[in-house]
């Protein structure tokens, strides 16, 4: 049973990493500064970052050790979430792309 769960977790992390890479590409194409870095070809971890402007930065880390969402403004941490809550925030960010919200110079849309 535990071996099966470990394999499911690895596949989940790989799927999440692939989706993060795709989200970074789409966000860049929409005018956001975004990146997604992975180590090696096994897709077992990633560091995703996006700037929403006005010194507003989102960092999403995923690995076998955990998942974290960190939101910062002016180099100060506003919010840090882990696990399912972090993934829910990532969905809010993905909704920016889904609903084609463009970055604005004066008012930057913020995920809730």
pTM (predicted TM-score): 0.82
Domain boundaries, the chain: 2-96
Each of the 112 residues of the chain gets a pLDDT tens digit; together they read 999 999 999 999 999 999 999 999 999 998 899 999 998 888 899 999 999 888 999 999 998 889 999 999 999 999 999 999 999 999 999 987 788 766 554 344 444 4
Quote the CA–CA distance of 93 and 11 in Å, as a whole number: 22
Per the structure block, which two tokens stand in for 20? 């993060």
Quote the CA–CA distance of 75 and 83 in Å, as a whole number: 23
DSSP 3: H
């Amino acid at each position: 049973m535990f071996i099966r769960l470990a394999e499911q977790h690895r596949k989940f992390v790989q799927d999440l990493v692939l989706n993060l890479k795709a989200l970074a590409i789409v966000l860049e194409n929409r005018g956001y500064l975004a990146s997604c870095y992975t180590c090696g070809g096994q897709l077992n971890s990633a560091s995703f970052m996006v700037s929403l402007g006005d010194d507003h930065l989102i960092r999403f880390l995923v690995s076998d050790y955990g998942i974290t969402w960190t939101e910062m403004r002016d180099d100060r941490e506003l919010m840090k979430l882990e696990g399912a809550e972090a993934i829910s925030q990532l969905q809010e960010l993905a909704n920016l792309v889904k609903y084609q919200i463009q970055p604005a110079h004066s008012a930057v849309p913020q995920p809730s």
